[in-house]
Amino acid sequence: MLDVDVLIVGAGPVGLFGAYYAGARGLRTAIVDALSQVGGQVSAMYPEKEIYDIAGFPAVSGRRLIAGLVEQAAPYRPAYVLGEEAQRLEHVPGGLLVVKTGGGTEITARAVVVTGGIGTFTPRPLPAGEEFLGRGLEYFVPDGADYAGRDVVVVGGGDSAVDWALMLHPIASSVTLVHRRAAFRAHHGSVERLKAAPVEIITNAQVTAAHGGHRLERVELSTGATLPCQRLVAALGFTANLGPLREWGLDLHDNRHLVVDSAMRTNVPGIFAAGDIADYDGKVRLIAVGFGEVATAVNNAAVHIDPAAQLFPGHSTDHPAPV
């Protein structure tokens, strides 16, 4: 059980910046996300892609952006509840909100800020090998160090698959990319770099079996080939939906977005929203816009929690983060 001032639902870039802002306002904060790592769509779909429209950065990779946001929030020690989907919402006396996760965690908060992007991400599973999840099979590559000197098989044909193959080949013993089609969905420039890299590319094939003891050792392909494999990266994409948030009594637009006002308030007292999941007239879905929205949401949440608090947080130059 956790007791916090602000619960942030969604650990993407907007949610992470919200954790910084809540901390800067002296609010105890927890962040819950169904994914097992922070970063949301950025980490799941384009961690190595350069992003060009983040203020102050001519170019920054998704991985560097997320790492910087985590570092920015770290002095305020937000509690991370990862790999658990926010499911049930209960209203209790005193205006408190209790959110229960699919993992059994119960979080009591005085305000909730939903920064869930386009909803809960669920990785598309491999047709074989799921029994090695956490023992060689992964859906993300949060840290390349664990892949050093390993035989790596990456499955998929989108940006994530190609990005991870390009990232890992300099440190892995070998990298093989397996894709069930001949054509790739990934950006053309990335595919060309992949073809020029020392990466074996096998198309029109799928992983049909995985073998090993306590850890993964090899995989079989539909072509009949067997590959040595200590690390299997499944990059087959994700499904996304609002999931249990639909049952929270929130006003929806297009059945996918949460309707908010200029203070980023939803129709449910104490619940705010920011980022791609929030909707209002003139909405522009960009990370840069989400940063401003979550600052607005958190500052208004601070006033919701304590009506005597000032809406304006003051200038950050006057309130440096604790060391």
pLDDT in tens, 212-266: 999 999 999 999 999 999 999 999 987 777 889 999 999 999 888 999 999 999 9
pLDDT in tens, 4-46: 999 999 999 999 999 999 999 999 999 999 888 899 888 877 7
| pLDDT number for residue 82 | 94
Segment 265-274 mean pLDDT? 98
Assess contact for 238 and 220: CB atoms under 8 A.
Answer: no
| pLDDT number for residue 159 | 87
| pLDDT number for residue 305 | 97
pLDDT in tens, 301-310: 999 999 999 9
Domains (ranges, CATH) in the chain? 2-121+238-318 (3.50.50.60), 125-234 (3.50.50.60)
Pairing label, strands 231-234, 271-273: unpaired
- 110 by Cβ neighbours in 10 Å (0-12 / 13-18 / 19+) ranks as buried
Assess contact for 29 and 113: CB atoms under 8 A.
Answer: no
Read off the pLDDT band of 161 (50, 70, 90). very high
pLDDT in tens, 104-145: 999 999 999 999 877 666 788 898 999 999 899 998 886 788
Query: How many other CB atoms are there within 10 angstroms of residue 189's CB atom?
Result: 9
Q: Tokens representing 189?
A: 């420039």
Helices (H), 54-109: 62-73
Helices (H), the chain: 13-24, 40-45, 62-73, 159-168, 188-196, 287-305
Annotated binding residues for FAD = 33, 41, 46, 86, 121, 276, 317
Read off the pLDDT band of 80 (50, 70, 90). very high
Annotated binding residues = 33, 41, 46, 86, 121, 276, 317
Which value, in Å, is the radius of gyration of the alpha carbons in the chain? Answer: 21
Q: Tokens representing 230?
A: 């200590």
Smallest CA-to-CA distance from 10 within 45, 28, 37 is with 37
Q: What is the spatial distance between Cα 177 and Cα 186, in angstroms, rounded to a whole number?
A: 13
Q: Tokens representing 21?
A: 């802002």
DSSP class of residue 254? T
| pLDDT number for residue 240 | 73
